[in-house]
Amino acid sequence: MTELTLIIIALADEDDPNAIKMGRIPPATRKLEARAELFRQRLNAYTKGLLEPSDRQSQVTPFKTVQYLHRTMRDFVEREDIFGELQQVSNVDFNPKYRLCQAYIMKLKMTLPLESRREKLTVEAVHAMDYAFRADPDCSTCPEVLLDEVEKAASELSAIKMADGESMLTKSGV
């Protein structure tokens, strides 16, 4: 299972996380940090402290991993019968894997070229593709639109010129 960060869960929790409509908009770091702090508070309210960002003592950053308060909580929630009950009380149209795919696409579109390393870009694109397939394992509605959006976002980001005039593609020898 992928370790989820505050910013990914915050993006997935948006009212309309439509990554397909969203253009490439690099946010200011302060906005990401403010968004992460706001979502940390919401996460605490939603879960009554059972989920929390890693390393509670230090400053909250958008890239802190969200984790269970204790391993026994994870074991309980991930039991088939309990997870099934949680799914039954969720909105019928809610697909968490689709929302996480959208969140990873949005994160790709929000990535600043200076913070981008080819490995990081690749990992986020792979997570987005993984969630696209997991959102529709039968490919009955085919995640093609989502996969196209991953490819478009990754291509645009990798082609942006860095301060030295090279793109991530030319730096990596592609």
Look up residue 148 and give its two tokens: 């196209």
Model confidence band, residue 23 (pLDDT cutoffs 50, 70, 90): confident
Q: Is residue 129 part of a domain?
A: yes
> Which pLDDT score is estimated for 170?
59
More confident: 29 or 171: 29
Q: Is residue 122 part of a domain?
A: yes
In a domain, 73, yes or no: yes
pTM over 0.95: no
Residue 1 lies in a domain: no
Contact 115, 124 (CB under 8 A): no
Mean pLDDT within 26-42: 77
Structural domain that includes position 75: 6-171
Domain assignment present for 131: yes
Distance of alpha carbon 168 from alpha carbon 65, whole angstroms: 26
Among residues 81, 72, 79, the alpha carbon closest in space to that of 50 is found at 72
**65 burial type by CB count under 10 A (0-12 exposed, 13-18 middle, 19+ buried):** middle
Report how many domains make up the chain: 1
pLDDT for 140 beyond 80:
no
SS (H, E, C) the chain: CCCCEHHHHHHHCCCCCCCCCCCCCCCCHHHHHHHHHHHHHHHHHHHCCCEEECCCCCCCCCCCEEEECCHHHHHHHCCHHHHHHHHHHCCCCCCHHHHHHHHHHHHHHHCCHHHCCHHHHHHHHHHHHHHHHHHCCCCCCCCHHHHHHHHHHHHHHHHCECCCCCEHHHHCCC
- Over the stretch 38-68, which tens digit does the pLDDT of each residue have? 888 888 888 888 888 876 556 667 778 888 8
